[in-house]
Amino acid sequence: MAAAGKAAGGRPKMGEEKLIIRSEKVRLFDILSMMILRRPITSYAFVDVGDETARDIGITPGDIFVKLTEIIQKVLASIYTPAKWVGILVEFLLNFVALNGGLLGILWNIVRFKLVIPRRDAANFRTMIGMIDGRTELKPAPETSAGDMRQLQVLNVLVSGEVADLESGYVTDGTPLIVRTYLILEITVMAAKIAYENAAFVENVVNNVWKFNFVGFYNGWNKFLKEETTQAFVFTDRPEDANVVVVAFRGTEPFNMQDWSTDVNLSWLGMGAMGHVHAGFLNENASVHEEDGKDASRAFPKDAPNGAAPIGKTIAYYKLREVIREQLKKHPASRLVITGHSLGGALAAVFPAILAMHKETDILTRLDTVQTYGQPRVGDDTFAKYLAAEVAKVAATYYRIVYRYDVVPRVPFDIPLIAEFAHGGTCIYYDGWYDGKVLPGDAPNPNYFDPRFLLSMYGNALGDLVKGAFLWVRAGKDYREGAVSLLYRASGLIVPGLASHSPRDYVNGIRLGRIEAKQV
């Protein structure tokens, strides 16, 4: 993707800047053609390309990563329905066993006629992410911040010592109010993790475990997929005079092949001064009114067009913008924090960029930080610089946390000239067992399939599996991993980098990781 506003040769751009790959229209014959022939990618019927983009790309053939992307897309599409039902069954069985106290508990509850049947919308139902890491409590900041990563971002919160029982929803009364100091990193990584859960679960954790103030859980309509594909929730640290307003986006669900397909999709749209932005992540924030690469205001209008969503449905970006504005007015001293893991991290990065494009200065001037975990690439270098400049204008920060060889931050692939996706923000990379460092650019093995990293990737997967089984011995019972977590870690021995995407390692990294303060 050439820089926004100019073609590769420096001439003004007059036509559309977009490249939309209709993966659902790609045939096996097309993939074979791309593998054998050196036809320009823009010559295929499944590619919707702007006139100026076609001139920029010219006769550039489909790169090996384009072909690989379409093969991955076809595989994901073929297993979409089976994976969905496998996920429903697996999560039901895991919750059935957990809520009944194990196999013996199931037998005992049958005898007592007290068998618990899981409900997906109940406050005690956990997704696969919740089964991999069931921790819900916040860990207070240590008394000393020397050497800890970004310890200067702290939040003093007045809370009670009450203890919540997530399974029954019962809350005990008791201990007096106390002041606890939390890191923004701790709050954001935990919010990004529980964003995978249902609305009742999230509300219970925010109100009863964290002692914060739950504002709302929101489902966003995607007109292209004709379903609610975007979930996010908003909370403040207290009901009145809050310090922070936090927005957390849900990430890539393990059994949702549509989410994975969005992550690896190469389609992008020209958004004027913002640069080229991943079309799928734009659609997740708000289904674009038109896939228009010439007029950003038409592609993503400031106000939701009439009929953009069915009656009773909302568009994520516009609804969240409204809620955030209300909360910032209600809490004049509060600052805005945006977070997300995986796909949620991509949405967390796109969201403030769209606010900037729409000149929503009343919201942007209150932005404190954008913290993402395992985030995929969301745009080209122009977009990365655009977001960095807008964040710098309001003295906010944008931190992008990457654990080891996590596969998701390495997609969509960076493919000059076709799709030059680039990362932005300050990258904090864990290259060891929660040993963090700041990287000036991208993480190692940026396109994932470099054979030079294969041995190291498998070595990391094996090391994490072994260390994960015994981490609790050194770090304490909060770090004991169950069978589901260890089984998920073992998946890294098949697909290296998959297990590294688990929110568990991101939570552990924030709590146990160390980095020189001068590096941040």
Catalytic residue IDs: 342, 406, 501
Handedness of CA 286, 288, 289, 295 (dihedral sign): positive
Helix (H) or strand (E) holding 509: helix 503-512
Structure letter (DSSP) for residue 480: -
Helix (H) or strand (E) holding 278: strand 276-278
- DSSP conformation letters of 140-208: PPPS--TT-TTTT-EEEEEE----B-TTT--B---PPPEEEEEEHHHHHHHHHHHTTS-HHHHHHIIII
Describe the crossing of helices 257-264 and 64-78 by its angle, rounded to 10 degrees: 170
Residue 328 to residues 147, 211, 235, 242, 513, Cα–Cα distance (Å): 33, 20, 11, 9, 32
Question: Of the candidates 474, 475, 472, which has an alpha carbon nearest to the alpha carbon of residue 485?
Answer: 472
Helix (H) or strand (E) holding 426: strand 426-430
CA distance 46 to 54: 14
- β-pairing, 367-373 vs 335-341, is parallel
Question: Of the candidates 227, 225, 211, which has an alpha carbon nearest to the alpha carbon of residue 177?
Answer: 211
CA distance 109 to 37: 64
Token pair 């005898």 is found at 111
Distance of alpha carbon 326 from the chain centroid? 24
CA distance 401 to 411: 15
Distance of alpha carbon 350 from the chain centroid? 11
Residue 518: CA atoms inside 13 Å, Cβ hemisphere, count?
0
Structure letter (DSSP) for residue 286: S
